[in-house]
Amino acid sequence: MTYKGKLVLAYSGGLDTSVAIPWLKEQGYEVITFTADVGQPIDLEGTKAKAIKSGASKAYIADLREEFVEEFVWRSLKANAMYQGTYPLNSALSRPLIASHLVKVAEEEGAVAIAHGCTGKGQDQVRIEVCAKALNPDIVVEAPVRDWHFSRDEEIEYAEKHGIPIPVTKSSPYSIDENLWGRSIECGILEDPWEEAPSDAFKMTVDPWDAPDEPVTIEIGFEKGLPVSLNGKPMSGVALIEMLNQIAGKAGVGRIDMIEDRLVGFKSREVYECPGAVTLIGAHKALETLTLPKEVLKAKRELEVKYAELTYEGYWFSPLKDAIDAFIDKTQEVVSGVVKVRLFKGQAMVVGMKSPNALYREDLATYSHGDKFDHKSAVGFITVWGLPIKTWSQMHGKKSDQVSKAIGME
């Protein structure tokens, strides 16, 4: 076996990425692991020890929660990004972050390659590989889990042979990916779209049915498109999301159950719980309706669809995504204010909002006294606005005659 050089492996501490260590060593690499804390439940010291025990020469652990929020989650929130209008991209957003750190550690360590534990059926492999190559076109990317073709039993046998601890607790029937922005739940019984997701699939949210009978109303303060306070109290991004996950989760907000079109060509049933994300995106979107002009809103809503697709499909570090970010940042300059949201039995309902930049003007909108709207100018406006329709009717006959004919009155 020839020595290939150092490799940096994205390490979760689970069986797959632990088995990947001796496997990659057999391919000729010295393996350094990198574990990112993005808000998932993780025993940091235990994970580090397990990496070394499994044969890694060095194990990095990094708390990336703040960077995750500031550079990825907040951009996505400003874009109201939801893939297929439904999935807040919680898993997808962490991949470019992880890829960027794998590349960074590889460069610092003089490594020739990086590796991940993704399978060949999902988009996580695509995201990590495309993002890594965008940042370092020369880096080699290894995907042991995609390449080793082990059955579950063979994998366990291989693990035992290499002294890798096999989890003693009964493993979850689901494939879970979790971070601050939400939790993705796949596999097991969920693979049958007719089966309702069982309660053991959820951890961040209660069933709306079991949520308290009393609503909770919260106030989220936004500054240039980003949430900066909760109920009047200034908060860091990480703390604010953590707190919202709790409050909204308790009210049963943020459960998502969808059929998703995967990048690799097939449909899959995906279940998510994203209490904080769903609440914040709803509030942010509402505040935009108060502060952005109609034409900007319309153009932005179209770009938001593209933005979510780019994120889902691994194009986070791409020229188009950068250009849309610049557009979005420009729009967010005026998106400041406070949004009042009522959390109740699975719903996050916006029930009020105010902004120093509100384009809503009560003196124009009101039907009661104080009305400043010039009613007389409506007359001329309607004449001009209706002119093309009137001309068509004069040319081709009256619409009312056609309607009478259509409904058989003639």
* Binding region: 10-18, 36, 87, 117, 119, 124, 127, 175, 184, 260, 272
In the numeric block, which tokens belong to residue 318?
């791409």
Q: Does 17 bind ligand ARG (CB under 6 A)?
A: no
Nearer to ligand ARG, 17 or 33 (CB): 17
Determine whether 16 is an active site residue: yes
Q: Does 288 bind ligand ARG (CB under 6 A)?
A: no
Cβ-proximal residues to 397 (8 Å cutoff; 6+ apart), any chain = none
Task: Please select the residue that binds ligand ARG; options are 142, 155, 186, 288, rule is CB under 6 A.
Answer: 186
Task: For residues 206 and 366, give the distance between their C-alpha atoms in angstroms, rounded to a whole number.
Answer: 41
Q: Nearest-CA neighbor of 145 among 121, 127, 168?
A: 121
Determine whether 269 is an active site residue: no
Task: Please select the residue that binds ligand ARG; options are 129, 142, 177, 288, rule is CB under 6 A.
Answer: 177
> How many helices and strands, by DSSP H and E, does the chain display?
16, 14
DSSP 8-state symbol, 150: -
Cβ–Cβ under 8 Å, residues 140 and 113 = yes
Q: Does 123 bind ligand ARG (CB under 6 A)?
A: yes
Q: Judged by CB under 6 A, which stretch of 109-117, 173-181, 216-224, 333-341 contacts ligand ARG?
A: 173-181
Nearer to ligand ARG, 180 or 292 (CB): 180
Q: Does 175 bind ligand ARG (CB under 6 A)?
A: yes
Q: Does 125 bind ligand ARG (CB under 6 A)?
A: no
User: Phi, psi at residue 184, to the nearest 5°?
Assistant: -105, 135
Which among 172, 175, 236, 404 is annotated as catalytic?
175
Q: Does 76 bind ligand ARG (CB under 6 A)?
A: no
Task: Please select the residue that binds ligand ARG; options are 39, 88, 122, 254, rule is CB under 6 A.
Answer: 122
Q: Judged by CB under 6 A, which stretch of 120-128, 138-146, 281-289, 314-322 contacts ligand ARG?
A: 120-128
Task: For residues 155 and 317, give the distance between their C-alpha atoms in angstroms, rounded to a whole number.
Answer: 34
3-class state of residue 296 by DSSP: helix
Q: Nearest-CA neighbor of 314 among 272, 277, 260, 263?
A: 263
Nearer to ligand ARG, 118 or 139 (CB): 118
Helical axes 44-53 vs 15-26, angle rounded to 10°: 30
In the numeric block, which tokens belong to residue 294?
């109609």
Q: Which amino acid is at 34?
A: F
Task: Please select the residue that binds ligand ARG; options are 30, 109, 155, 270, rule is CB under 6 A.
Answer: 270
Q: Does 77 bind ligand ARG (CB under 6 A)?
A: no
DSSP 8-state symbol, 145: H
User: Which residues are annotated as part of the binding site for L-aspartate?
Assistant: 119, 124
Q: Would you name the residues annotated as active-site residues?
A: 16, 95, 124, 175
Binding region for ligand ARG (CB under 6 A): 91-92, 122-124, 175-177, 184, 186, 260, 270
